[in-house]
Structure 1
Amino acid sequence: MLTPIDVQAKIFKSGMGYSKADVDSFLTNLYADYGTLYRENMELKDKTNLLNESLNRYKDIEKSLQKALVLAETTSEETIASAKTNAAVIEQEARVKAEAIVADAKQELENIRSMTVELVQKYESYKSQYKALASAQMELLSSDAFNIELTKVDSLVVSEAPAAKPVYQEAAAQVAANAAKEAEDDMDETVSMEDDTMIKDIASIFEK
């Protein structure tokens, strides 16, 4: 492509033909216009190069963004899959632990029930034994071995004091009654203490 300098330096041969002045004037105008076009063309080329460079940079950025997007999608899918797997594992572990806790609770309840039944049976057995013992003691107290013969007491009273006989008889009867009452109270207290102990044992189981 001709440059403005080439146009300006162009020399035509003189002789027959166009007027030299007209040719020079035309070349002068052509030089000016062509110089303007040439500069504009160079500026456009520079701008085009800059735009191409920018476009290439944007293309590189676009490629990087596409790669990042693909990586993000892949990572997101992997994260979701991993989260689902972890959730399933946690759910399974929780289910197993819950079943174990329920089984332990049922076993503990069964143990408590068995212990309660055993204690109640022991309580009833002890109660029957103490009732039988108390009944035997009462029968023993009512037997002849614990009867005080008033005739023997009467023999202790001197004949010179017949008025004192009722006093000795009353004292002997009171002694026998007190002995029977004390034996009965001791037996009731023993049975009551054993009953309280058994009841406390049963209550302590339910308090757990």
Structure 2
Amino acid sequence: MKISPLDIQQQKFQRALRGYDMRDVDSFMELIYNEFEDLNKENDALKMALREKTNLSDELLEREKTLKETMMTAQQVTEDMKLNARKEGELIVSQAEVQAESLINTAHSRLASLLDDITEVKRQRAQFIASMKGLVNTHSKMLEVDEGEDDGFKEAEEKLKFLRKGK
């Protein structure tokens, strides 16, 4: 059974013949009442302080939990970003390699085409030079024949001159 300070203050005792002195009992009861009341106030204050500390502790624990969750989320996001960056980098490198290979193949094809063109131009040049040499030789022979005919004409003219003189 809980006893309150009011219970102590209102407690009355019966008088007995050889009982205690009423003033001593009342004085002691007053002292107990005051002490009990102080202890109850102190107990209430301690309970309130404990409630405040418990609330603060709960709040701090909740903040700590939130911070831990935030840190774990940030760490996960960081790991995800690193993974995505690594994958993106690998994709970029892969695309660059494919593009470089394509450029190299195009360059090799172009080089082969240019070499074929050069070979064809050399062949045509050689054919042109041979054709020109043949044409020059033909004309040279024609000129030689023509000069030989000039000699024949000179001889015929001289014979005619001779014949004319003889007339």
Using the size of structure 2 for normalisation, the TM-score is: 0.76
Match of 1:112 in 2: 114
Deviation at 1:19, TM superposition (A): 1.6
Paired residue type of 2:12: I
2:150 is the counterpart of 1:147: yes
* Distance of 1:91 and 1:144 partners within structure 2: 77
- Mapped to 2, the partners of 1:48 and 1:80 lie a distance apart of 47
Q: Equivalents in 2 of 1:92, 1:73: separation in Å?
A: 28
Offset of 1:52 from its aligned partner? Answer: 1.4
Aligned length: 155
Letter of the 2:60 partner, please give it.
Y
Partners of 1:23 and 1:98 in 2: CA distance? 109
Q: Does 1:4 align with 2:23?
A: no
Letter paired with 1:129: S
Structure 2 residue 30 is the aligned partner of structure 1 residue 28: yes
Partners of 1:72 and 1:111 in 2: CA distance:
57
Aligned-pair identity in percent equals 23
Gaps of 5+ in 1: 156-208
| Pairing of 1:151-190 with structure 2 (within 5 A) | 152=157
Decide which of 1, 17, 20 is 2:19's aligned counterpart: 17
Q: How far, CA to CA, are the matches of 1:31 and 1:150 in structure 2?
A: 175
Distance in structure 2 (CA, Å) of the matches to 1:107 and 1:101:
10
**One of 44, 47, 50 as aligned partner of 1:45:** 47
Q: Displacement of 1:150 after TM fit?
A: 5.1
Structure 2: gaps of 5 or more residues = 161-167
Counterpart AA for 1:134? V
Shifted more, 57-66 versus 36-45: the winner is 57-66
Counterpart of 1:136? 138
Q: Which has the higher contact order (CA 8 A, sep 6+)?
A: 1
Which piece of structure 1 moves more, 104-113 or 31-40? Answer: 31-40
Once the two structures are superposed, residues 126-180 of structure 1 have per-residue CA deviations (whole angstroms, 9 ceiling, x without a partner) of: 0121122122212222323673745759x8xxxxxxxxxxxxxxxxxxxxxxxxx
Aligned twin of 1:163? none
Distance in 2, matches of 1:93 and 1:63, equals 44
Return the alpha-carbon distance in structure 1 between the equivalents of residues 144 and 136 of structure 2: 12
- CA offset at residue 23 of structure 1? 1.8
Q: Structure 2 CA distance, aligned partners of 1:111 and 1:5?
A: 116
RMSD: 2.6
